[in-house]
Chain A
């Protein structure tokens, strides 16, 4: 495995940008508070712990984006998983939660692969149905039940010195990197995202590949939903809303082509950390929400403009 391939240009640029954010933030805190909060290990560990939730969502989202599609049903996949898992409770909470993800992924995959409805609109519909289902089941209020001890432990326990959520993220990442680089499925995902017709004519069942991608995405969202519910110890209506756009942004800022077929997993990890740090630094710097949104948007555009200059095969 050569290094040049695993760390591409977008990853490098995004990594240097992370350093810039940390330095700028540190400069700010030194001037205003006389501390260097942003380069303290405890702060960084805390950020990575928070980043795990987004990172797991982004990991799944990356598979769908690599296929040239998108999954807008993530917000309510997260919320529905958390709600059902906390409502069921006990030993079945986690399996039920993951079953939600599996079902959503299958539904999305079937709609996109068999009905050929554009993913953007089909997953939007699935999101609306999930929301409707949850309103029906919960009566429109946040459920009263709490996260099970297992969920809390997964999200906040740290028997190995690092938060379990980070370990989960690392395990998922390792599994996806293995899948993308070592197995035929990984190769088929890239191939389908590049040119589905050519992949299909190579005798590959691209429908199954599409369904696989959507299932991975929804399962990741579900897992993240379980962790977030464990972290906040309960489930609530809008808990997934804050993850959709940042997840897409993390994937794209990490260098994955939104049209599919190109992108490295390391980029998504770096993109996730970048987004989380950016949000954190801006909030520590007491930037109002307005400024945060503007900077957030500007960063995405500027990074993509910078990448665009380097890519010859895009478009």
Chain B
């Protein structure tokens, strides 16, 4: 598709290329199913050289499957891939690599126990007499790190010793070292600092001008505006539309992504005359160098959002509350009584009644090979016994009730929970905690990787729980969710609450501004500290 927006910033040689717009990569009729879940349905997709092509879509829209197919990580069930006018098939990531396709994945592809230099040269290091030439490899790593503006990283450091944001820069340097023709970035900037984001943007623009083809996957509208010249929207495994930058309004794009009227996604928020009685109060919570003097309170029936850039201490705060972290300072008060919570078992006790929906449901929320029944009842099992025997009648009855309430879809209760779709798996995690009768629910990015329909059900469920008096603390990487769901939103930056937004102040602009800590200076810092 010819793109007017492209012209002003294009260089002469790129013009030559756009004059002959043969797509560099094209997919025709590609489909992929995982068990019963359709991840991609008959997708046609193309991208050109000398272009940054954004791929947009909700979690679970099929973006990840698309790039995994391009990168040779998974094989399509049907359809064909054409690269540079040749039909290709990539049985392994290595095959895709050799064809010039390089991926920067959301889950880092770095080996933590190997040095930065080893990671960068992992598959094709400089060699002497067939052996890895460590010195040349180190020089090469230094060059590549310099190219991404990270001269400060010592290539001999183990990746394990680097903070997350630095690791992501190493990942980018590693990708550049493979001389890609097509570079795929899958949420690759989510953990970067603001300064690094600028560097990465400059690099990506440079690569585009050098004639590379770039695919950029993100769900942040402002990133796409700053970077891409073309965008494609996916929804429910289907390719909805491809358009040049500026050809669609933000609202149109969002509507394409979610497939319905925006306003209807979130349940209405209640109007309050007086602040609710606090269920959970935190005073001066600190942990290592990740949390500093966090104080907040969550009222009964209130949904409080935690926002900010990824990795500013939100996850740690939830884990600290739930007794997972050791050496947490500060006070936790539950329903007016001070509590020391040293383990999830203590957080679960009736006197506290806390629940945590963890970040990664596959490793922290579920025992995947175990049955739906076992997974739902595991947390509440202690309360469903007669003597030392599990009361199966009671168990089945309670499970049936919660399954009906959450509309969890599965074959049989004895099926492994791994066979369920992502959305239903997450419902199982929530059901597990609802069975314990939790009155304080902590959620750690609970809608990642689940379909829009289930998301909407979860939003409604959260509101219903709140209306029934449950206090909810909700961390999300999705600003829209925070805006749509929360009564209040607290923005964290560097382990501190830097801003509290309420009512009509909860806007995307405010969240982004305070997430980047744009207005923060020493005076504000002091002010926010004393205000608490």
Question: When the two chains form the complex, which single residue of B364, B389, B414 contacts A201, counting CB atoms closer than 8 Å?
Answer: B364
Assess whether A161 is interfacial by the CB under 8 Å rule: no
Min C-beta distance of B385 to chain A, whole Å: 6
Given contacts A198-B364, A200-B344, A202-B432, contact A262 B374 (CB under 8 A): no
Q: Which residues of B contact A198 (CB under 8 A)?
A: 358, 363-367
Cα–Cα, bound, A190→B367 (Å): 9
A-side contacts of B356, CB under 8 Å: 201
Q: In the complex, what residues of A have CB within 8 A of residue B111's CB?
A: none
Of listed B343, B358, B366, B369, residue having the most chain A CB within 10 A = B369
Complex Cα–Cα for A203 and B381 (A): 11
By a CB distance below 8 angstroms, the chain A residues around B157 are: none
- Shortest Cβ distance from A199 into chain B, in angstroms? 7
Q: Which residue among A197, A199, A201, A205 has the maximum number of chain B CB atoms within 10 Å of its CB?
A: A201
Q: At the interface, yes or no: B235 with Cβ under 8 Å from chain A? A: no
Task: State A7–B385 Cα separation when bound (angstroms).
Answer: 26
Query: CA A194 – CA B375 in complex, angstroms?
Result: 11
Q: Is the CB of A191 within 8 A of B432?
A: no
Kindly state whether residue A182 has any CB partner on chain B within 8 Å. Answer: yes
Shortest beta-carbon distance from B109 to chain A in Å: 20
Which residues from B are CB-within-8-Å of A190?
Answer: 367, 370, 374
A199 and B368 in contact, given A5-B414, A184-B385 (Cβ under 8 angstroms): no
User: When the two chains form the complex, which single residue of A187, A191, A204, A262 contacts B345, counting CB atoms closer than 8 Å?
Assistant: A204
Residue A313 interfacial (CB < 8 Å): yes
Q: Which residue of B lies closest to A4 (CB)?
A: B414
Interface residues of B in 335-374 (CB under 8 A from A): 343-345, 347-348, 356, 358, 363-370, 374
Contact of B370 among A182, A191, A203 (CB under 8 A): A191
Are A313 and B347 touching (Cβ within 8 A)? no
Interface residue from B324, B366, B368, B381 paired with A313 (Cβ < 8 Å): B368
Q: A201-B365, A262-B369, A313-B369 are in contact. Are A191 and B374 (CB under 8 A)?
A: yes
Residue of B nearest to A207 (CB): B343
Could you tell me if A261 and B367 are in contact, using CB atoms closer than 8 angstroms?
Answer: yes
- Bits for A179-213, please: 1 = Cβ < 8 Å to B, else 0: 00011110110110011011111111100000000
> Could you tell me the distance in whole angstroms from the C-beta of B431 to the nearest C-beta in chain A?
12
Question: Across the interface, which residues of A come within 8 angstroms of B418, CB to CB?
Answer: 313
- Expressed in whole angstroms, the Cα–Cα distance for A199 and B365 within the complex equals 8
Main DSSP-derived SS at the A contact region: helix
Q: Which of A5, A184, A261, A262 contacts B382 (CB 8 A)?
A: A184
B368/A194 in contact, CB under 8 A: yes
Cα distance, A188 to B432, chains bound together (Å): 14
A205–B390 touching, CB < 8 Å: no
Closest partner residue, chain A, to B346 (CB atom):
A203
Cβ of B379 under 8 Å from chain A: yes
Q: Which residue of B lies closest to A202 (CB)?
A: B379
For A190, give the chain B residue with the smallest CB separation.
B370
Count of A-B contacts judged by CB separation below 8 Å: 81
Closest chain-B Cβ to A195's Cβ sits at a distance in Å of 5
- With A184-B382, A313-B418 in contact, do A205 and B366 touch (Cβ < 8 Å)? no
Question: Is B416 interfacial (CB 8 A cutoff)?
Answer: yes
> Given the complex of chains A and B, what is the CA–CA distance between A261 and B381 in angstroms?
18
CB distance from B432 to the nearest CB of A (A): 7
Q: Given the complex of chains A and B, what is the CA–CA distance between A195 and B388 in angstroms?
A: 23
Interface size class of B (residues with CB under 8 A): 20 to 34
- Out of A183, A199, A205, name the residue touching B388 (CB < 8 Å): A183
Please provide the chain B residues from 408 to 467 with a CB less than 8 Å away from any CB of chain A in the complex: 414, 416, 418, 432, 436
- Which chain B residues border A313 with CB–CB below 8 Å? 368-369, 416, 418
Per-residue CB contact flags for chain A residues 104-143 toward chain B (1 = under 8 Å, else 0) read 0000000000000000000000000000000000000000
Complex-state Cα separation, A200 to B367, whole angstroms: 11
Residue of B344, B366, B389 most packed against chain A (CB within 10 A): B344
A204 and B378 within 8 A (CB): yes
Nearest-Cβ distance from residue B414 to partner chain A, whole angstroms: 7
Partner of B358, one of A183, A184, A185, A201: A201
Bitwise interface map of B from 306 to 336 toward A, beta carbon under 8 Å scored 1, else 0: 0000000000000000101000000000000
Residues from chain A with a CB closer than 8 A to the CB of B385 are: 183-184
Please report the C-alpha to C-alpha distance between residue A249 and residue B100 in the assembled complex, in whole angstroms. 47
Q: Is the CB of A191 within 8 A of B378?
A: yes
Q: Chain B contacts of A261 at CB under 8 A?
A: 367, 369-370
* Assembly CA distance A205 to B382 (angstroms): 12
Q: Is the CB of B343 within 8 A of A205?
A: yes
The docked-state distance in angstroms from the alpha carbon of A188 to that of B390 is: 12
Asked if residues B347 and A199 are in contact (CB atoms below 8 Å), the reply is no
Picked from A184, A185, A194, A202, the residue with its CB within 8 Å of the CB of B344 is A202
Assuming A194-B370, A205-B343, A261-B370, is B378 touching A187 (CB within 8 A)?
yes
User: Given the complex of chains A and B, what is the CA–CA distance between A201 and B418 in angstroms?
Assistant: 18
Q: How far is the CB of B285 from chain A (nearest CB, A)?
A: 19
In the complex, which residues of chain B have a beta carbon less than 8 angstroms from the beta carbon of A204?
344-345, 378-379
Q: How far is the CA of A149 from the CA of B382 in the complex (A)?
A: 43
A27 to B363, CA, bound (A): 51
Neighbour of B369 across the interface among A185, A194, A199, CB < 8 A: A194
A5→B377 CA distance, assembly (Å)? 19
Contact A195 B367 (CB under 8 A): yes
Question: Nearest CB to that of A182 among chain B residues?
Answer: B389
Indicate if the CB atoms of B390 and A195 lie closer than 8 Å.
no
Interchain nearest-CB distance for B417 vs A (Å): 10
Chain A positions within 8 Å of B344 at CB level: 200-204
Q: B345 touching A203 by the CB < 8 A rule?
A: yes
**CB neighbours of A197 from chain B (8 A):** 363-364
Query: In the docked arrangement, what's the CA distance between A187 and B348, Å?
Result: 18
Residue of A187, A198, A203, A205 contacting most chain B CB atoms (<10 Å): A203
Known: A190-B370, A190-B374. A203 touches B416 (CB 8 A): no
B48 → chain A, closest Cβ, in Å? 40
Q: Determine which of A195, A203, A205 lies in contact with B363 in the assembled complex, contact meaning CB atoms within 8 Å.
A: A195
- Tell me which residues from 159 to 195 in chain A have a Cβ below 8 Å from any Cβ of chain B: 182-185, 187-188, 190-191, 194-195
Which of B367, B389, B390 touches A199 (beta carbons < 8 Å)?
B367
In the complex, what's the smallest C-beta–C-beta distance from A250 to chain B, in angstroms? 22
Question: Which residues of chain B are near A195, meaning CB under 8 Å?
Answer: 363-364, 366-368
Report whether A194 and B367 are in contact in the complex, using a CB–CB cutoff of 8 Å.
yes
C-alpha spacing A5/B381, complex, angstroms:
21
Residues of A within 8 A of B322 (CB): 201
**Cα of A261 to Cα of B364 in the assembled complex, Å:** 15
Which A residues touch B374, using CB under 8 A?
A: 187, 190-191
How distant is A201 from chain B, measured CB to nearest CB, in Å?
5
**A203 touching B379 by the CB < 8 A rule?**
yes
Chain A positions within 8 Å of B367 at CB level? 190-191, 194-195, 198-199, 261
Residues on B facing A (Cβ under 8 Å): 322, 324, 343-345, 347-348, 356, 358, 363-370, 374, 377-379, 381-382, 385, 388-390, 414, 416, 418, 432, 436
Q: Which residues from chain A sit less than 8 Å from chain B, CB to CB?
A: 5, 182-185, 187-188, 190-191, 194-195, 197-205, 261-262, 313
Name 14 A/B residue pairs within 8 A (Cβ), A-sorted.
A184-B390, A188-B381, A190-B367, A197-B363, A198-B365, A201-B356, A201-B364, A201-B365, A202-B378, A203-B345, A204-B344, A204-B378, A261-B367, A313-B416
Q: A183-B388, A191-B367 are in contact. List 8 more A-B contacts (CB 8 A).
A: A182-B390, A183-B385, A183-B389, A187-B381, A198-B364, A202-B378, A204-B378, A261-B370
Q: Which 3 A-B pairs have the closest CB atoms?
A: A203-B348, A194-B367, A202-B379
